[in-house]
Chain A
């Protein structure tokens, strides 16, 4: 298929359809409402289901009911709406229902603002709802990657029978970029959905639930989920390295569109002879912790710099990965302020000059 120009939100919507996710429930919220507007036009064309619910609370539960059919379902929202969805997300994780949830993040806490942020990292990666569960979390940095990861999300949701969350800051949803869709979405074979609710015809009734009153059974379920998450850690770690080499003085760790700003900064400062590498996690859970450790441990790396559009959330996972081997520094802007490449360069220069001063003293 030829390249077309799409807004992130539309591209995410179209990618879902391409991946067979043509069952969508939604509630409007800036900056992701275009997904709903796009699908309101597209779903009737492809014979899919489109429904605007009365709240994100209801929408997430509609997703729960819809996912129980065994068909591919998804919803999209932005930070405050995602907070309201946490109830059903926890239930779906407990009941092992596959679904895809997209969070086009805006600044918080509370009603916050409508401009881009990455301040829902903890919520996405560390649970969000109650109980011992994890979501598989993916973070694209371009509209094309949002398309690719959206399609992959449906596959991974089915593969692990688990909700998958794709998070992007408001920029990912709002910006226009050229994208290409595959004519046919090809994916590896998936296990049969032997749990799907289809009516007890010629078989025993099935129940989709997260209730286990017997603590032994609940514990078993939790350890079963744990094993699944361990399997994700083994198989689904995704990341990208940019200009990572043995001349790097600093390793930047950054994700999403923030990583693109870091790339521009790295290119600029390279002209001044400063070599910086970028490690961009694509899967936030499972987190590429071993690979960050490997890169950060290298002799030439003096310092690890984590850059986020938050006051510092992913940094905790980076620190855990680096296990004190190297100093981990943070730079971030939040509340809808997107750091400029110049600000990133300034931060790098500060760190580099500090180091040379220390060297002189030594």
Chain B
């Protein structure tokens, strides 16, 4: 995995702020991106802003959350704050008090994996006071294959809805267009094109593109001119 990342053809993403809030529509791939980003930073020996921790703020969706990968992440020294015992599995809107603390002290680098859409991003609003005190980047994960973000207008609508419900401002975009196992080169590249257009119209920085390593392997390096985060899927279905 580490070799995959190091040997890749493209520049890797640069993480600058202590707090990185990963937001997007349902199914944009926020959790997978968050887990992979945390893993990449943990494995990158040149990255100094440590420790790395991941906060699962997805209180909307009880399935396929980043907390499912917490055991694996822990082995890499990545911290996480999850409800304990039975509450780990709950669909209750549990925001542990430690989360507020983790944001306010922002030790090292914190990745916040937020629930989908404006509905999922509403939880940020309850923590807005803590975020305003910290230095954060809020980035939008875009997936062109999802119904509400399949065009620029849809993306702009999603951006304004999430900014409204979260009371925070976006600073960047992650292009994560995929169609699960049906993803191909064309899908990834058209996703980048859409993200560039959204970036142009909003002034938000296009942070990086993320895609599964096996797809990246078949894309020619000249086709991508932004940083790339290769994904190794962690949140799998039981038969995968």
Contact = CB atoms under 8 A, between A and B. Distances in A.
Contacts of A264: 239-240
A14 B64 CA distance: 22
A31 B62 CA distance: 7
Interface stretch (B7-15, B74-82, B142-150): B142-150
Contacts of A22: none
A6 B63 CA distance: 14
B237 A171 contact: yes
B119 to A, nearest CB: 6
A96 interface: no
Given A3-B145, A176-B27, A30 B239 contact: no
B180 A340 contact: no
Interface in B103-126: 117, 119
Nearest to A263: B239
Interface residues of A, number: 32
Nearest to B86: A113
Interface in A98-127: 113-115
A154 to B, nearest CB: 20
B211 to A, nearest CB: 14
A132 interface: no
A178 interface: yes
A341 to B, nearest CB: 6
Nearest to A338: B238
A7 B26 contact: yes
B180 A114 contact: no
A323 interface: no
Contact of A31 (B91, B181, B239, B240): B91
B101 to A, nearest CB: 28
A37 B116 CA distance: 12
Contacts of A41: 148
Given A6-B147, A34-B26, A175-B64, A340 B238 contact: yes
B90 interface: yes
Nearest to B181: A178
A7 B27 contact: yes
A261 interface: yes
Given A174-B63, A338-B238, A5 B91 contact: no
A114 B91 CA distance: 7
Binding site of A, secondary structure by majority: helix, strand, loop or mixed? mixed
B238 A341 contact: yes
A260 interface: yes
Interface in A209-257: 257
Most B Cβ at <10 Å: residue of A37, A176, A178: A176
A257 to B, nearest CB: 8
A178 B145 contact: yes
A170 interface: yes
A177 interface: yes
Interface string B84-108: 0000011100000000000000000
Most A Cβ at <10 Å: residue of B26, B61, B180, B238: B238
B180 A176 contact: yes
A4 interface: yes
Contact of A4 (B62, B117, B119, B145): B145
A10 B149 CA distance: 14
A336 interface: yes
Interface in A1-27: 3-7, 10, 14
B39 interface: no
B179 interface: yes
B89 A178 contact: no
B220 interface: no
B27 A114 contact: no
Contacts of B146: 4-6
Contacts of B181: 178
Most A Cβ at <10 Å: residue of B64, B119, B182, B239: B239
Contacts of B145: 3-5, 178
Given A30-B62, A171-B63, A3 B182 contact: yes
Contacts of B67: none
A37 B91 contact: no
Contacts of B26: 7, 10, 34
Contact of B27 (A3, A6, A30, A338): A6
A178 B62 contact: no
Contact of A10 (B89, B147, B239, B240): B147
17 contacts: A3-B145, A4-B146, A4-B147, A5-B179, A6-B27, A7-B26, A37-B119, A170-B63, A171-B63, A171-B237, A175-B63, A175-B237, A178-B145, A178-B181, A264-B239, A339-B238, A340-B238
Interface of A: 3-7, 10, 14, 30-31, 34, 37, 41, 113-115, 170-171, 174-178, 257, 260-261, 263-264, 336, 338-341
Closest 5 pairs between A and B when the two form their complex, measured CB to CB? A174-B63, A5-B145, A264-B239, A30-B91, A260-B239
Given A5-B179, A340-B238, 15 more contacts: A6-B146, A14-B147, A31-B62, A34-B61, A37-B117, A37-B119, A114-B90, A171-B237, A175-B63, A175-B237, A176-B27, A257-B238, A260-B237, A336-B89, A341-B239
